[in-house]
């Protein structure tokens, strides 16, 4: 059984996929959590690893916050970029893996209103999150070429799974509490990816490599997601308000801060933003899971 090193393996993604990976690989998790098999902080340096690994699944990173200070901004580059460099230095000391799979993000495209964006789109992301991931991608491309590593870069859409963080988690919490309002009947569509599909992709990638957008084929609307979540929670579908009311609330959020909605979040809610995962499906023979069928909060 091949040995797989999994960074971020005790976080949201790991909690959703490690049991799947355990069936196919000898998995070792590494990170700053007490639950990790190896306790290590790649921001602080390049720790010594106990063994050489066949595959590295690098999912650790910083996301899901809007930085408010220079220190918070810098932390994206420290964790997502510098941490990746230090991980690679650790691998050089113990032995180069056959395959390296990096979990990047669709945010690298810097597009909030695209339709079926492909891997050929320019990388225009200008947030600290996007920039740090772009830098990590560029570093890994050079590093893998130098050391003869099969590199896979995955650019997932919003990831759905149990106890999802970020915007999806906020939607679940809002509907659960009854404080969630649908906007303009939730017509905007977003690409989603079932977390389990990351694990399903690993054996398809390890000997091939490449850069791939990954999302399901549903591209559900906000309204479909709201109804799905409400049904699982035993709640009524959220009340829908007109866009103009939401805009007033968003402007209030801009002024007050610490408010459920602001102009940036409103723009994402009412604008369709979808990826194309045709390349991954064609090249790898991957068949994505349906979010609307399999997502469980």
Residue 248: count of CB within 10 angstroms of its CB? 11
- The domains of the chain are located at 3-163+193-217+276-289
DSSP tally for the chain: helices H, then strands E: 11, 11
SS3 148: coil
CATH number for 3-163+193-217+276-289 (one of 3.20.20.150, 3.40.50.720, 3.30.1330.40, 3.20.20.100): it is: 3.40.50.720
d(CA 249, CA 40): 43
Q: Which helix (H) or strand (E) holds 87?
A: helix 83-94
CA proximity to 297, closest of 226, 238, 249, 206 = 226
SS3 1: coil
Q: What is the pLDDT along the chain (297 residues), one digit of tens a residue?
A: 999 999 999 999 999 999 999 999 999 999 999 999 999 999 999 999 999 999 999 999 998 777 889 999 999 999 999 999 999 999 999 999 999 999 999 999 998 777 899 999 999 999 999 999 999 999 999 999 999 999 999 999 999 999 999 889 989 999 999 988 899 889 999 999 999 999 999 999 999 999 999 999 999 999 999 999 999 999 999 989 898 888 988 898 888 877 778 888 788 788 888 999 999 999 999 999 999 999 999
């Amino acid at each position: 059984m091949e040995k797989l090193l999994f960074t971020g393996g005790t976080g949201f993604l790991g909690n959703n996929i490690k049991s799947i990976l355990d069936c196919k690989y000898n998995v070792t998790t590494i990170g700053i959590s007490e639950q990790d098999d190896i306790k290590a902080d790649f921001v602080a340096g390049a720790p010594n690893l106990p063994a050489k690994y066949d595959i590295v699944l690098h999912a650790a990173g910083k996301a899901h916050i809007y930085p408010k200070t220079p220190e918070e901004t810098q932390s994206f580059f420290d964790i997502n970029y510098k941490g990746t460099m230090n991980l690679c230095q650790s691998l050089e000391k113990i032995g180069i893996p056959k395959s390296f799979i990096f979990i990047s993000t669709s945010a690298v495209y810097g597009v909030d209103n695209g339709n079926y964006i492909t891997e050929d789109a320019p990388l225009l992301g200008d947030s600290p999150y996007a920039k740090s991931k772009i830098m990590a991608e560029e570093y890994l491309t050079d590093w893998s070429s130098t050391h003869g590593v099969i590199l896979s870069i995955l650019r997932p859409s919003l990831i759905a799974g149990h106890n999802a963080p970020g915007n999806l988690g906020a939607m679940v919490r809002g509907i659960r509490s009854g404080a969630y309002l649908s906007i303009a009947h939730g017509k905007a569509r977003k690409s989603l990816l079932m977390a389990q599909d990351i694990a399903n992709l690993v054996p398809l990638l390890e000997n091939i490599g490449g850069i791939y957008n990954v999302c399901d084929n549903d591209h559900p609307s906000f309204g479909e997601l709201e109804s799905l979540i409400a049904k699982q929670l035993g709640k009524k579908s959220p009340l829908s308000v007109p866009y103009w009311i939401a805009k007033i609330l968003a402007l209030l959020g801009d002024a007050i801060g610490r408010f459920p909605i602001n102009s940036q979040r409103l723009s994402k809610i009412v604008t369709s933003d979808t990826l194309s995962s045709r390349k991954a499906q064609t090249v790898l023979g991957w068949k994505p899971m349906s979010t609307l069928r399999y997502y469980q909060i």
